[in-house]
Amino acid sequence: MQETSAVFRRLHLLTFVHYAFLAIIGFVIAWTTSPESSIQRSSLIFSVIYLVIMGPISLAKYLRFRYYVTSEELVMHYGVFKRVRRNIPSDRVQNVAIERNFLARILGTAVVKIETAGTAQAEGVLSFVSVREANRIRDLLHTAETTHTPEEDTPALPSFHLALPRLLISSVYQFSLGLFAVLVGVLQQLELAGLLNIEVTARHILERYFFEITSSQEYTLAMLITALILITLVLCWILGFAQNFIRYYNFHIELGLEKIHRKYGLITLREGTLPYKRVQSLLIRSNPLMRLHDWYRMEMQTLGLESGERGFQPAMPFAKWAEIVALGSKIRPFTVPETYTRISRLTIRRRCLRYTLLILAPAATLYLWWPYAVWGLTLLPIAWGIAWLQYLYHSWTFHDGNLFIRRRILSQQLWVVPVERFQAFEINATFFQRRLGLCTLRVDTAGAGVLRHPKIIDLKRDEAEKLLAELYDVFRGRAKQD
């Protein structure tokens, strides 16, 4: 502690407004949505209890939280029940992210998240400080790095900017089923579902379906279902549009010498840097419609888990294939392979068998109570068609030290996984796969998602062994150079 000039600072006073905000919102919702006075009264009592308990704790938390930043380190002292003194040397800082949500932008405050290489989570979180202070902290922690690379003013760094016209086009392609479900849930909670008429319509349909259907009713039923589907589709599309527009508004990415700089968002403004070392693999996504018009989206799978990104961070939300390749290969060097190898054709047989079982079992069970379940069998040809498409759209290649995997029909994925980033190699073979001489090859990268991760399903056994040996061979060669 030789820096006498470094004074301990407190967080911004408006932090309390942030603390109180959620409580107030919760209270207002409970108050306005329940017509019964008993619920209103109990929500009032809960709010008072909450205030009595959380008020002093927040105050104590605020008073205990002190920090100072120099170009060498960030020092934080905090904790009410468990006191923590944390020093983060600035050369260990990997990423300084500044996040400003809607309220923060009104109040002129920001959250500063400091990530180090140690763990996946942000290790130093300063919520909230003023915007000026946030920028000061970032600049201070970054000076340590920029002194290492003095040639900062090299000509135009590779960058990408999502201009407004293109953002609008990109939003058109979005479709959000998840958000729709949330909206319906919220409206139902607020007893406003009548607005959409969805619940009423649904009940209508159920009633009609379970009871006798006369010919005139049948006509209305068909109309209802069509209308319902149309309403849902349009709503999903509008919501997807809004979500995409808000999230990627003014998206800007710039590839610096050591780090990637990004800034984006309409309501919550996100700004951050990311060292190249943290990028584990690239995921290029598309869907049939986007692909038709040569539009793609590129994400980086990183070790750091920034909120809401699940280890995947947008690199280019919407771009042409050539642009994706140009920028992507600067993030993780790769060249586009010319040919891909298909997985074994036997996959169609395995998937058909699986889908048939998955459809037959519930249909047969349902049939005992509900004879209409027979119609479920019409799904069979569709499922077989899907199995065939899945075969067509799943291919891989190992090219130039990168494993490329193409998968999925609707949300098409192309993984670019550098072999030196592999953490573990795995070959899986289920009972059915073994009967057909197939297996699944999985590779694990640091921080990869459990649900979304690179894998090649239904490779021929000998092919998989050969690929694994080849991957591992290159891996060993490269890992030694590290």
Rounded to the nearest whole angstrom, what is the least distance from the CB of residue 277 to another protein in the complex? 12
Binding pattern for the stretch 257-296 against another protein, x by CB under 8 A and - elsewhere? ----------------------------------------
Answer for the pair 302, 279: CB distance below 8 angstroms, yes or no: yes
Q: Please report whether residue 93 would count as binding another protein according to CB under 8 A.
A: no
| Rounded Cα gap, residues 267 and 281, in angstroms | 29
**Does 128 sit behind a cis peptide bond, omega within 30 degrees of 0 on the bond before it?**
yes
Rounded to the nearest whole angstrom, what is the least distance from the CB of residue 285 to another protein in the complex? 20
Rounded to the nearest whole angstrom, what is the least distance from the CB of residue 393 to another protein in the complex? 22
Q: In terms of CB distance, is 139 or 426 closer to another protein?
A: 426
Binding pattern for the stretch 60-79 against another protein, x by CB under 8 A and - elsewhere? --------------------
Binding pattern for the stretch 299-338 against another protein, x by CB under 8 A and - elsewhere? ----x-----------------------------------
Q: Please report whether residue 226 would count as binding another protein according to CB under 8 A.
A: no
Beta strand ranges found along 101-194 (DSSP E): 109-116, 124-130, 159-161
- Residue from 323, 358, 345 nearest 161 by CA: 323
Rounded to the nearest whole angstrom, what is the least distance from the CB of residue 421 to another protein in the complex? 10
Query: Cα dihedral sign for 249, 255, 256, 261?
Result: positive
Q: In terms of CB distance, is 15 or 301 closer to another protein?
A: 301
Q: In terms of CB distance, is 56 or 449 closer to another protein?
A: 449
CA dihedral 223, 226, 228, 230 (to 10 degrees): -130
Rounded to the nearest whole angstrom, what is the least distance from the CB of residue 433 to another protein in the complex? 9
| Rounded Cα gap, residues 40 and 28, in angstroms | 10
| Rounded Cα gap, residues 126 and 140, in angstroms | 15
Rounded to the nearest whole angstrom, what is the least distance from the CB of residue 430 to another protein in the complex? 5
Of the CA atoms within 13 Å of residue 279, those in its CB half-sphere come to 28
Q: In terms of CB distance, is 217 or 430 closer to another protein?
A: 430
Token pair recorded at residue 185: 């849930």
Number of residues that bind another protein (CB under 8 A): 26
Q: Please report whether residue 217 would count as binding another protein according to CB under 8 A.
A: no
Token pair recorded at residue 86: 């944390």
Q: In terms of CB distance, is 245 or 425 closer to another protein?
A: 425
Q: Please report whether residue 472 would count as binding another protein according to CB under 8 A.
A: yes
Instruction: Tell which positions 402-441 bind another protein, by CB under 8 A.
Output: 422-431, 434
| Rounded Cα gap, residues 197 and 220, in angstroms | 16
Rounded to the nearest whole angstrom, what is the least distance from the CB of residue 378 to another protein in the complex? 31
Q: In terms of CB distance, is 332 or 455 closer to another protein?
A: 455
Rounded to the nearest whole angstrom, what is the least distance from the CB of residue 262 to another protein in the complex? 23
Q: In terms of CB distance, is 411 or 423 closer to another protein?
A: 423
Answer for the pair 427, 441: CB distance below 8 angstroms, yes or no: yes
- Strand, helix or coil for residue 333: coil
Q: In terms of CB distance, is 286 or 433 closer to another protein?
A: 433
| Rounded Cα gap, residues 80 and 49, in angstroms | 20
Rounded to the nearest whole angstrom, what is the least distance from the CB of residue 425 to another protein in the complex? 4
Given the DSSP bridges, would you call strands 312-319 and 73-78 parallel, antiparallel or unpaired? unpaired
Rounded to the nearest whole angstrom, what is the least distance from the CB of residue 423 to another protein in the complex? 3
Given the DSSP bridges, would you call strands 296-302 and 312-319 parallel, antiparallel or unpaired? antiparallel
| Rounded Cα gap, residues 17 and 287, in angstroms | 42
Between helix 215-248 and helix 164-172 the angle, nearest 10°, is: 150
Q: Please report whether residue 468 would count as binding another protein according to CB under 8 A.
A: yes
Q: In terms of CB distance, is 327 or 441 closer to another protein?
A: 441
DSSP assignment string, 347-389? HHHHHHHHHHHHHHHHHHHHHTT-GGGGGGGGHHHHHHHHHHH
Q: Please report whether residue 354 would count as binding another protein according to CB under 8 A.
A: no
Answer for the pair 264, 283: CB distance below 8 angstroms, yes or no: no
Binding pattern for the stretch 436-455 against another protein, x by CB under 8 A and - elsewhere? ------x-xxxxxxx--x--
Q: Which residues bind another protein (CB under 8 A)?
A: 303, 422-431, 434, 442, 444-450, 453, 468, 472, 475-476, 479
